[in-house]
Amino acid sequence: MATRTVVPFGPQHPVLPEPIQLRLTYEDEKVVEVTPVIGYGHRGIEKACELNEYAKNIYLCERVCGICSYQHSATVVEAMERLWPLELTPRINYLRTIWSEMARTHSHLLWLGLLADAFGFESMFMQFWRIREKVLDLLEQTTGHRVIQSVNIVGGLRRDIDEQQKRMIVGVLAQVRKESQSLIKALIHDYTVKKRTVGVGIITKEQAVSLGCVGPTLRASGISEDVRLTKYHAYGELNFEPIVESAGDCYARAAVRARELIQAIDLQLEALSKLPEGEIAVKVKGNPPANEAVMRTEAPRGELFYYAKGNGTRKLERMKIRTPTYANLPAVLVLLPGCQLADVPVNVLSIDPCISCTER
């Protein structure tokens, strides 16, 4: 029997920009067991949400993550809006959809860059991130900030998109689409990328469901599931169908994100072309009523779940946040055993882990 060695992968590791430890047990170069260890940066945000006045929770929750920050604010706001419940104008729903897809665009560009970097394709990594800058600029120009947009409020939005901005967004997105397609083509058809990802880290359909996977990690295993099918925001009025791959390997997960990047741009363009007139905020009376509500949205990494419970005061009784990486983390229990030591970074990266989200 080969000698077993336990190696701590993280919490400080070049492939992990955030602290998580994977306790890997090896036999020679092969991983046979893994235990994920979290808790290095837990911030107790759920507890803080009970201590804050409800409106301040928006600004707190959008700091759960620096990448899907917009998605957190849109979800927490809508969870709280459902306590009344509030009737929003179509324009609010469309604008929230546009910014959500803009966030998905920059998140997937970030991930594709990281994937290229994991293979040592430094130039491609920089090209993806160069394109991403244009999307961050759009966010800054339309919301006022690149990372923490703070554009959502209970009952609507703080900012609108005017005609001039619409034209500017359409122009920039057309350019982003063209450049992304060309880079994706280079990445996805590359011999080395295929060699390192095809057939690696397979999650079967059954495993994906049983492990509770979400987002591109789930859809790459052949499951056509996406919270956007619930038609929240303006998704019910857009031409949307989830992107699915069937192989369940690292390559399929990359392919889903690459195709979703293009789809996100198309959804923004469609939403912009249909953007209805109307108010960007509705009146909110009183404190959140004694009620409870769940809001789920499709963040770039998958289903984001918020549960809010009001008690009639300015403070919430309870706020629960279940982030996509929290749901995808059990997948490493089947992803890593059986793989080679050299494949661990790409395997881990393939679920697009966000430890900041996990350690809310």
Helices and strands per DSSP (H, E), number in the chain: 14, 8
Q: Parallel, antiparallel, or unpaired for β 292-299 and 156-157? A: unpaired
- Sheet (strand 318-322) strand order: 292-299, 302-309, 318-322
**Which H or E run contains 296?**
strand 292-299
Least CB distance to another protein at residue 2 (A): 24
Nearer to another protein among residue 88 and residue 218 (C-beta): 218
Least CB distance to another protein at residue 311 (A): 11
Nearer to another protein among residue 62 and residue 226 (C-beta): 226
Nearer to another protein among residue 229 and residue 269 (C-beta): 229
Least CB distance to another protein at residue 238 (A): 16
Nearer to another protein among residue 125 and residue 306 (C-beta): 306
Nearer to another protein among residue 53 and residue 133 (C-beta): 53
- Using DSSP's 3-state secondary structure scheme, residue 169 falls into helix
For helices 69-81 and 90-118, give the axis angle rounded to 10 degrees: 150
Nearer to another protein among residue 116 and residue 244 (C-beta): 244
Least CB distance to another protein at residue 282 (A): 22
Residue 43 amino acid letter: R
Q: Are 45 and 360 in contact (CB under 8 A)?
A: yes
What residue ranges bind another protein (CB under 8 A)?
A: 35, 37-39, 42, 44, 46-47, 209-212, 224-227, 229-230, 242, 292-294, 296, 303, 305, 307, 309, 317-318, 320, 322, 326-327, 329-330, 333, 359
Rg (CA), the chain: 20
Least CB distance to another protein at residue 160 (A): 30
d(CA 208, CA 355): 20
Least CB distance to another protein at residue 350 (A): 18
C-alpha torsion sign, points 322, 328, 333, 334? positive
